[in-house]
Structure formats: structure tokens, C-alpha cells
Amino acid sequence: MQARDTMKTYHLLAPGDAVLAAFSGGADSTALLHLLCALREEWGLRVFAAHLNHGLRGEEADRDEAFVRARCVEWGVPCFVRRTDVRAEAARTGESEELCGRRLRYAFFAEQAEALGAKIATAHTLSDSVETMLLNLARGTGLAGLRGIPPVRGNIVRPLIETTRAEVEVYCAAHGLNYVTDSTNFSRAYGRNRIRLDVVPALRALNPALERTLARDMRLFARDEAVLEDLTASLLRAAAVPGGFAAEVLRASPLCARALAAAAAQTTGLRPEAVHVRAMEQLLRTGAGRTQLRGGWFAEIVRGVLSFSPGKEEPPAPFCRPLAPGVLENGPVRLKVTPVEHANVKKFESFCARYFKSVLDCDKIIGKAVIRTRRAGDFYHPAGRGVGKSLKKLFNEQAVPPSLRPYVPVAADETGIIWVGGFGPDARCAPDTGTRRVLFLAYDADTRKGATGDGGY
């Protein structure tokens, strides 16, 4: 397996190292732990394993935990297991369950690794790296997002990062390794799963060597990004003045946008979104003024010096207008509402299917309808999902930028929500075979990553 060469190329582990393997019990982590055990004597490694039971999959999660414990006993690997309630923690913090689980998982691994004086080995594969690259591309990214997953990040090493998932499965079969399978891996409710199950196979049909081809691209992107990061750092050093950065020096550089983003992140500890970078560029063009960033921070130019300071972040004013044909604008959001009738469009049903997230059935609206911003407790049933969810949870799951959430347009009639920008109609107002009149809602927002023509996230 490629992993041995990867470990040597990137100096992931050295003889005598202690290594804590993140062990879920799946094919990838089983292959990783088996490989580390095989190298235990040869490299003098001290091998440990850690498993976090997220408490999300009931009996299946308990099955995985039991498998992990049994396999570690069989292979003589000290194993650290922790149980947690990710759902409750996510409800407390407002995170999506996916992000919350990741945070808790890595915190657990870091805690155990520090106690052991060990490196953390995760089982990310080349396939995972390709999926990450494509997901970033779909959501909107700069060059940094096209680098995939690095072999090393701090104390975390990834020996399988140049090995495909198919090669891992071959390794498991060759060594007679059993493993467990997480049933949520096949749910298209998660963006990463849709990339893996639908997008990658379609691209592989065009290029059977897709993963190896993209691996080469990701290495090139990583090298280019490293060069640009160094140049940006040099620019910021050259622009540094007491109290901030010389606006003229930044404005004159082709790396201006990168430098602004880096300066803001360096000063505030928060990475600015694209809309904030554009606002700072406008400040440089005018030579004076103030603009609001994330987390209550402001960027300001006074006497030619760009500086950053914390301030009180004022929430945007609530927005509410009658739902009628025309163009509505609110902050970064632009919404164009157009009535469309069956008699005026050929293949009307195909039109509704194609633009499903942007249409709602006029005849299913009850009473007067408005277009407004989100309110506390907003809840609706997105058509096609078969389940109702709060807008807070939907925004978390789809990683809607926090700065955009107060502006996302919500259409409601006298009964409740009928449409949400980026998510589509409520099941109650979704077009069907009997639909003859729809409202077409073309939604766009400057701050959204990976905007699509039908307003989808």
C-alpha cells in the first residue's frame, strides 16, 4: 500500500514515536491501525487507539464501539473510548451535528495525545481529499480550498492520504480484515456524501484515473498557494506601520485582496468573508472610511493607515414587504419575483422541476403573502425532505455564512412559511402535476459561497 512511501516522503512518523490512531472501525481506520501495528516492531512505534461514540446512531454506534474494543484487544493496542451526546451539545451551541461531532472528536484525540506524548494519525484517504476539494469548489473557494487535505497539520498525520479508498478495501481483503460500515455514509442529506455517491462517479466516467489526476493538481495548487502566502506575508511586512498597515502600499499590490484578508484574520482571529474583503477594497479605493467585519470588528482607514478595532455590531433591521412581482433588495440580498403561467411556458412541468428551489405554486398560497427576514422560532417543511426543520438548524447544516443569515429571504402566507431562499418551497406550496401558476423567485446574495442560478446552497 502507498502509505509506507507517504510516511517516508512526508516524515510522518519516526522510529520510537508514539502514535494515537483515530479508530472508528470503518475500512479506512481499520487498515490504518493494522498498518501501524505491522510497523510497531519494525519502527519501534508505540501504538494507541481512540474512539468517540457520538451517541447519534443508537445500536449501530454501540456495535461500532464493541468492534473497536474487540479489535484493539486482539491486536494488543491500548484503546481510549469516550461516549458523548453530540445532539445535545449541538443544540446547546447552535452548531450542526456534523461540525459539533468533529470538534468534540478532535478535542478528545488532542487530549489523549497530549497525555501520551503522541502524534494523532487519522485515516483520511486520497478519496477523502478529492471529495474535500470538490466540495470546496462547489461551495466557492480560492486556491487554498483546492489543496485538499494535507499529509501533516500540526500534530496530526495522515498516512493514507495518497491511498485511494478502493486501495484500502483491497488491502483489507488481502489481509482478511473485517470492518464496520456507518449507514449514514449512504445518506444524501450530507453534501459530502452527494459528492462521493453522485459527483465522483460521474467524473470518473470521464477520467478513470480521476483521483490520481486530481492528486497531482492538488499538489500544484498547494505549492502555488504556499508561494502566494509567502508573498502576501512579505507585503504585509512592507505595509506595516504603527497602528496598522499603509493603505497606499496595499492598494498598489496585485495581492491586495489576499493581504486584506490576511491582515484582518491576523488581527481579529476571524477569517473575513468575501463581502468583507470587497468592502475593505472599497475603503482602499476611497482612502477613508469604516466598514464592519465579522464578530463585531471594524476596518477603518484614517490618515492613510488601515487598522482594525472591535466595536458593537448592530443587527440589521427586520425586513418585511408584500410578496409581489418585482425586485426586492436588502443588504447583500437581491430577489426578483416573476409570475409564470402554464400557458406561457412550453414543458411547464419540466420548468418547475428544473427550478424547483425557485418556484412555488401561487394557488396554494393562503391569504396575503409577504417576503421577510428570518424570525426566532421559524420552522418549515422543505419540499422533498419529508421532515420539518427550524431555519436555524437548516442554516447550520448547509453552512450558510453567519453574516448572511439575517438577510436570507423568507416568504410566508397567513398559515406559515411557504418558501426560503436557498432551500426552496415548503411542501405545502411545492408545484405538482396540477400546478398551473407559479412565482419564480430568483435569489442571489453577494456573501454566499458557490451561488447557483436557482439560489441553492
Helices (H) and strands (E) in the chain, counts: 15, 22
| DSSP calls for 36-75 | HHHHHHHHT-EEEEEEEE-SSSTHHHHHHHHHHHHHHHHH
Tell me the three cell numbers of residue 309: 478595532
Q: In sequence order, which residues have a C-beta less than 8 Å from that of residue 103 and are 6 or more positions away?
A: 95
- Asked whether 334 and 409 are in contact (CB, 8 A), the reply is no
Annotated binding site: 24-29
Closest CA to 109 of 81, 151, 139, 71: 81
Annotated binding site for ATP: 24-29
- Asked whether 442 and 363 are in contact (CB, 8 A), the reply is no
Tell me the three cell numbers of residue 216: 497531482
Measured CA to CA, the distance from residue 441 to residue 357 in angstroms comes to 9
Q: Is the dihedral of CA 217, 398, 433, 410 positive or negative?
A: negative
- Asked whether 379 and 417 are in contact (CB, 8 A), the reply is yes
Q: In sequence order, which residues have a C-beta less than 8 Å from that of residue 234 and are 6 or more positions away?
A: none
Q: In sequence order, which residues have a C-beta less than 8 Å from that of residue 353 and are 6 or more positions away?
A: none
Closest CA to 383 of 418, 351, 421, 426: 426
Closest CA to 323 of 335, 333, 332, 334: 335
Judge residue 122's burial from the number of C-beta atoms within 10 Å of its C-beta, 0-12 exposed, 13-18 middle, 19 or more buried.
buried
Measured CA to CA, the distance from residue 443 to residue 330 in angstroms comes to 11
Tell me the three cell numbers of residue 403: 453574516
Q: Is the dihedral of CA 218, 185, 101, 32 positive or negative?
A: negative
Helix, strand or coil for residue 373?
coil
Measured CA to CA, the distance from residue 134 to residue 138 in angstroms comes to 6
Amino acid found at 293: L
Residue corresponding to grid cell 508561494: 227
Helix, strand or coil for residue 432?
coil
